[in-house]
Amino acid sequence: MLLAENDISDVVSAVRAILDSSTVNQERQRCTQKIEELKEGDPGKSVPIAFKLVNQASDVSHVGWNIIEHVIRYKWNDMPADIRVTIRNGVLQYMSEGRYSLTSENLPTKTFVSRNLVAMMEQEWPQNWPELFEQFKSIILDETLHAQAQMVFIVLRRLIENVITFSNVSNVLRRKELSTAVNIIMPEMLAVTIARIKMCIDAGNNDNSILVAKFAIELLSESVDWVVGRVLEETVDKMIEVLCAYLQVANHGIFETAATCLFKIASRKRAKTDETPIVLSMFKDSSMQSIISAASLAAGVSSSSADHYKYLKALCDLLTALGIHLSEIWVYVKNPPPNFSLYLTAIYSFFTHPSMCIRSDVSQVLVTFASHDQISKTKEFVAAVKQVIPHIPKNVEKLGSLDDRTSMTSYYARMDCEDDVEFQRDYIQLRDRILRFVRETLNTTHIEQYLQQLCEWINRVILQNDSIPASEWESLKRYLMAFISTAYQKELVNDDVDAKFVVMFSSLMNQLETVNKAKTANLMLSIPSSFLQLFEKHPELISSFFERLKQILMITAEDSEIVDLKRHAISLMLKVSSSMPNVIQNHAELIYNIVTTTASSLTIMQRANLVQVLGALSNLAQPNIRLSFLQSAIQANIDYFRSQTFINAISSVPNFMAFIGLTSQADPDEKTESVYYLKRIELKAHLCTIDGVLQHVNAPKNQSNPLFELLNPVLQTFFQLAHCLNALNDQSNQRLVHSSYDQSVTDISADDRHQIYCTVMEADDQEPTENKAFNATDRLRRYISDITDMVQSIEGLCGSKLFYDFYNLPNIQSFFQSCVMDLDLIIDFRLRYWIRRTWRPLILSCPIPKIVIPFATAVIQHMQQRLQNRWEAVKNVDYDEEQTKEEIYLEHMTCVLSREYVVFLKYIFLGDSNVLKDDSRKQPSELLMPSGAALFEDRTLLVNVIATLCTFLNCLDSHTMLKALPVAKVILGTTFNVLDEQVANFVLIQSIQSLQVHGADDVAKGPLLGLIFMIYTNLRPRFPLLRNVLQEIPDQTPDTVAAFDERVCGMALQEKILEKHRREVMHKFLKSVIAKNVGEQHKRPSHLRVLQPLLRPLKQNGENGSSGDISFETLFGNS
């Protein structure tokens, strides 16, 4: 076909008009349409034009390559054979001419050529193109061909990516054939690639040889992590040799490419027996010395060049992967490999590098070796541990920052981290690995060295306590916690070690008496708290410890640092009292006296926290005096809640608002102690006391809790107070708020909203993006939130701690009624805490489920309606438009609330059990709690639970859906017999529709298919009309539905049908309704040719091609 010059010029003009920013949109659309018509038109016309275009300037040539690729992918099967040959010849001709640079200058062109050639290979190779690889080999081994050899490497790499790495070939049969063909040629491909790299090495470090070698190495990198071990083993020594040869060649970044390839070899995840020779090859003299030498040189210049630092990290990754891989195959090695000591020396050198990222990586190797039973006992590693131990303190401490310009750690951190959050995450990872290393290596061999280090560290902080930064105090505390707990756990605390612990503890406590600064004392106080286990063997230390805490509590000054110090002392008293009851039993009177004598020196909130110590001590008292002990502790609090003043305050919502000052002028600042401020702080303190005592008093089994007798008269006030707090959101009460407060005083803060955003997005940053002054509205909002939290906790603890008597109260139903009377007024943010702190323990703790059925039904019915409305609102958001802040918050808050409620349902019906893969062998009835099953006696409750679970299966939050799936499987699996036909239809339809929402998620699709199989096969025998639901599936006929119905019903009767087979059957039938991912939705189907089966290894010679084939030998022959 003759091609007119004006056809070419018209296309060129259209392309340039599209790219011209001055072109009006209508003209650009017309030109674009013209190009599309050419692509979709007759290949006899478009292909010649395309090959003319590829020889144009770069701004036009890409259109020609796009047209060719389009024709290959979508029209190949329908084209005459002569056009297919024309396309192949044209692409190969362009490739043979080598009119492209070896550098990245012509990378787009080389990418287009490789894409087109690989697209043809996917259609024809190897069956109709058996000679191709032999011709590739001849190009690779011809040292005079540089650009062409580079192109072959690019083509082979793309082929491997499409077929194996990314599995982009949609036709399963062709993908399997191509994969088989690639595996057949792999031994030769590796051999000739290594041979060409050797040629490049022999040719010297000129641009041509390095650029060809670089692309050859990239091909190896794409191959080595999946190729069969026996194939790689044949060439691994030669491969490592040529790769090591480039580790010190910086030209064109080839040293990093070589290091990356070595890393992929070292990090292979294959059968351990196959990997042993491959890993050991890296430990040979020449290989290990080359890697270590390169690392040494890179470390020397890493501070002066970002590229060299990046290369150093690549070598670090290589050595890290090599060490971890070695630990996996050690059982086959049995003895340390050659150069193991040299390897550990390199790891130690990296561990002392200023870069936190590098230290974190190599610490992973140290932890892996330390936790390995055999490696940890080798003399080489024992010696390495002795070298590492002195450097542990500085690695546990957080040093540097992104703003610091003085330290090398900060310098490297700026290259590794984008922000402070990432810097903090890297530090925490390093610290946790180091502390695990301490726990693993703390044994009889190293404990003396550790103890010496610890003694020196503590002596230094005692002598220089004023100059020790807070970061070092924190690191010492964490180090001590890990060290001491491990020493006791491993029974390493002999008399000598115990004596040293006592000396350290006593020295710290003595030094505390001489510290004049409250901030320093607060930091130092965290150190002796790690030695509390000493009290079990040395009770004589308890008195001095508590006396020192008493001295702190008796301090009269009340600046912020003193307040923090007292808070720390109170928390320590509470920790010892609650966690070591047997140890302090003989010192209970001392602790009681401290609580009573220091009360006058404490603020009202500090006293509220300190009284909780008495709650913990009450567990030590004899049953006959426990009541009086508790009464002496909280009688004042009970009197407060029984007072007429407080009863009047909560008698109505307006009275409560007036009581806390919500209807009066706001305090001008935080320091103003108005009458309303004093009332608020008094109420908060009393609530805090009751909440804390309830948390720390043990609930006796099968008998009354003495605390119940004290709290019974005021229980009603807590539930009435909850009503007052929830009703603040009522519009009639909102109008009573004084104008000095914003109307948002009863809403949530900006910090709370930010917390919701971070929760859904799984962001690390938990700080609000905007900081603003804390005004009167913010203070009162925070106060309302705090006392609401306490009331929620108290009501929940009434169930979990007072259950023996609480649920037998004659007015228990009125308590439950007050819990649900204001459900519509509770905002979503606070509702999730009512679910977690109050509703869950009240329902779970009830010994007789029948008592809580009305309460549970009201809660579950409300939540079903609320969540259904929320998800409908989310679905109605127009995502084509930019979302408003309220729409974003609605979506995120609904996700968080749904996740919380799923957990609630799981605990109520399944308890603490985890429904995991191991539970798939159990029947749903084995997983359902008896108390949960008893709740299903109420049909309204059951129907609402099922409706909620169906809502979750179809919601737009995959996290919620995945949490709901196992719960739905258990609940539905135990209630099929009680469902009516209407509910059965609803459940089946909803479960199938869930595939339209979440079917594109591979994690969710399988379990959803299994759930649908279970639903259909269990309900179908009772409700034959369920087949009508299946007839609504697109592309299904009555005959196919009948066949499917017969098959799955037959499978259901068989016991040994694998879950995989059930899912496959459902997938095949429901394929038309399963959602596709975004790529598949907009991907035009490409139909590959059906070729003769690939039954035997390829005959790789040049005689099998058709008469129309073009010979590579002719194309690339030397003239």
Provide DSSP, 69-115. HHHHHHHGGGS-HHHHHHHHHHHHHHHHHT-S-SSGGGHHHHHHHHH
pLDDT at 475: 96
Number of domains into which the chain is organized: 4
321 shares a domain with 217: yes
Average pLDDT over residues 755-764: 78
What is the band of 272 on the pLDDT scale with cuts at 50, 70, 90? low
pLDDT at 914: 60
**From CA 908, how far away is CA 21, in angstroms rounded?**
63
Domain endpoint, select from 425, 441, 457? 441
For 826-856, what is each residue's pLDDT tens digit?
A: 999 999 999 999 999 999 999 999 999 999 9
Residue with tokens 């809403």: 747
pLDDT at 1100: 46
pLDDT at 5: 58
Average pLDDT over residues 909-931: 74
Q: How many CB atoms lie within 10 A of CB 965?
A: 22
Q: 437 CB contacts (<8 Å, ≥6 apart)?
A: 363, 366, 367, 370, 388, 392
321 shares a domain with 391: no
What backbone phi and psi angles, to 5 degrees, belong to 631? Answer: -65, -40
What backbone phi and psi angles, to 5 degrees, belong to 57? Answer: -65, 165
For 533-555, what is each residue's pLDDT tens digit?
A: 999 999 999 999 999 999 999 99
Helices (H) and strands (E) in the chain, counts: 57, 0
* Of 786 and 912, the one with more pLDDT: 786
Q: Is residue 196 part of a domain?
A: yes
For 209-237, what is each residue's pLDDT tens digit?
A: 999 999 999 999 999 999 999 999 999 99
pLDDT at 772: 52
Residue with tokens 């011209």: 20
pLDDT at 943: 97
Q: Is residue 721 part of a domain?
A: no
Lowest pLDDT segment from 259-263, 325-329, 664-668, 1086-1090: 1086-1090
What is the band of 760 on the pLDDT scale with cuts at 50, 70, 90? confident
pLDDT at 432: 97
**Residue 1097 CA: distances (Å) to CA of 116, 182, 1106:** 25, 11, 19
What is the band of 557 on the pLDDT scale with cuts at 50, 70, 90? confident
pLDDT at 918: 42
Query: Percent of the chain having pLDDT more than 70?
Result: 95
What is the band of 773 on the pLDDT scale with cuts at 50, 70, 90? low
What is the DSSP-derived secondary structure letter of residue 834?
Answer: I
Residue 26, pLDDT above cutoff 70: yes
97 shares a domain with 194: no
999 shares a domain with 905: yes
E-assigned strand segments in 496-557: none
What backbone phi and psi angles, to 5 degrees, belong to 1108? Answer: -90, 0
Average pLDDT over residues 196-221: 97
Q: Is residue 995 part of a domain?
A: yes
For the full predicted model, state whether its pTM sits above 0.95: no
**From CA 310, how far away is CA 411, in angstroms rounded?**
13
Residue 710, pLDDT above cutoff 50: yes
362 shares a domain with 280: no
Q: At what angle do helices 172-203 and 229-245 cross, to 10 degrees?
A: 30
Q: Give the angle 95-99-104 at the CA atoms, nearest 5°.
A: 95
Q: Is residue 366 part of a domain?
A: yes
**From CA 741, how far away is CA 775, in angstroms rounded?**
9
Q: 379-388, 691-700, 758-767, 775-784: which has the highest mean pLDDT?
A: 379-388
**Residue 731 CA: distances (Å) to CA of 727, 734, 749, 821:** 9, 5, 19, 16
408 shares a domain with 357: yes
Average pLDDT over residues 627-638: 91
Residue 623, pLDDT above cutoff 90: no
What is the DSSP-derived secondary structure letter of residue 1077?
Answer: -
Two tokens, residue 380: 């080489």
Q: Is residue 455 part of a domain?
A: no
Q: Assess contact for 216 and 197: CB atoms under 8 A.
A: yes
Q: Is residue 236 part of a domain?
A: yes
Q: Is the peptide bond before 706 cis (omega within 30 degrees of 0)?
A: no
Q: 348 CB contacts (<8 Å, ≥6 apart)?
A: 384, 387, 388
pLDDT at 922: 76
307 shares a domain with 165: yes
Residue 946, pLDDT above cutoff 90: yes
Task: Fill in the amino acid letter for 149.
Answer: A
Letter string b/e over residues 522-560, b meaning 16 or more CB atoms within 10 A of that residue's CB:
bbbbbbbbbbbbbbeebeebbeebbebbbebbebeeeee
What is the DSSP-derived secondary structure letter of residue 1084?
Answer: P
pLDDT at 1116: 36
Q: Assess contact for 527 and 473: CB atoms under 8 A.
A: yes
What is the band of 1054 on the pLDDT scale with cuts at 50, 70, 90? confident
Residue 192, pLDDT above cutoff 50: yes
E-assigned strand segments in 146-218: none
Task: Fill in the amino acid letter for 96.
Answer: S
* Terminal Cα-to-Cα distance of the chain (whole angstroms): 30
356 shares a domain with 324: no
Letter string b/e over residues 53-91, b meaning 16 or more CB atoms within 10 A of that residue's CB:
bbebeeebbbbbbbbbbbbbbebbeebeeebbbbbbbbb
pLDDT at 1119: 34
1035 shares a domain with 924: yes
Query: Percent of the chain having pLDDT more than 90?
Result: 79
**From CA 534, how far away is CA 70, in angstroms rounded?**
77
What is the band of 768 on the pLDDT scale with cuts at 50, 70, 90? very low
Q: Is residue 528 part of a domain?
A: no
Q: Is residue 42 part of a domain?
A: yes
Residue 381, pLDDT above cutoff 70: yes
Average pLDDT over residues 1005-1009: 95
Outline where 876-980 has alpha helix (H).
Answer: 885-910, 924-927, 930-935, 939-953, 958-975
For 472-498, what is each residue's pLDDT tens digit?
A: 999 999 999 999 999 999 999 999 999
In which domain, by residue range, is 88 found? 1-116
pLDDT at 1099: 45
Average pLDDT over residues 165-193: 94
pLDDT at 1096: 55
952 shares a domain with 1044: yes
Domain endpoint, select from 337, 367, 389? 337
**Residue 1029 CA: distances (Å) to CA of 283, 1025, 1070:** 64, 8, 12
Domain endpoint, select from 407, 441, 475? 441
* Of 194 and 1107, the one with more pLDDT: 194
Residue 434, pLDDT above cutoff 80: yes
For 1083-1116, what is each residue's pLDDT tens digit?
A: 787 778 778 887 655 444 444 444 344 444 433 3
What is the band of 303 on the pLDDT scale with cuts at 50, 70, 90? confident
343 shares a domain with 328: no
991 shares a domain with 941: yes
Q: In terms of Cα–Cα distance, which of 170, 149, 63, 155 is closest to 117?
A: 155
Task: Fill in the amino acid letter for 1067.
Answer: H
**From CA 270, how far away is CA 785, in angstroms rounded?**
54
Average pLDDT over residues 630-637: 92
